[in-house]
């Protein structure tokens, strides 16, 4: 006689919503991906060419700096938060 699985560990049919939605080109919250969002490939332009990575026409006025909300760069402090300061005589002082 086979032992029954503990409660909550019963076999369930696989959830294929994430795969189906990604096949359709939608953004799906998936655990294990950064930000929980799977990137979606952009469709080709009307002339058949794809979007180029790097500087695009939208970024040309900023000199290549992206204007999308990806967060501040490594040397670009966020103006809404004060700079982090080390405590005086902290762990670095020996």
Rounded (10°) CA dihedral 82, 88, 90, 94: 140
> Tokens 């009307």 appear where?
46
Residue 44: CB partners within 8 Å, gap ≥ 6? Answer: 50
pLDDT at 4 over 50: yes
Count CA atoms within 13 Å of residue 11 on its CB side. 2
Alpha-carbon span 15 to 12, nearest angstrom: 9
Provide the pLDDT for residue 55: 46
Interval 21-40: pLDDT, tens? 545 555 555 555 555 555 56
pLDDT at 59 over 50: no
Across 31-52, average pLDDT: 58
């Amino acid at each position: 006689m086979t032992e029954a699985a503990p409660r909550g560990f019963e076999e369930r049919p696989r959830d294929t919503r994430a795969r189906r939605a990604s096949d359709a080109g939608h953004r799906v919250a998936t655990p294990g991906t950064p930000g929980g969002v799977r990137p979606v490939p952009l469709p080709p332009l009307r002339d058949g060419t794809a979007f180029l990575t790097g500087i695009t026409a939208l970024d040309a006025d900023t000199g290549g700096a992206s204007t999308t909300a990806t967060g501040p760069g490594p040397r670009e402090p966020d103006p809404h938060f004060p700079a982090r300061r080390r405590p005086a005589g902290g762990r670095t002082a020996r």
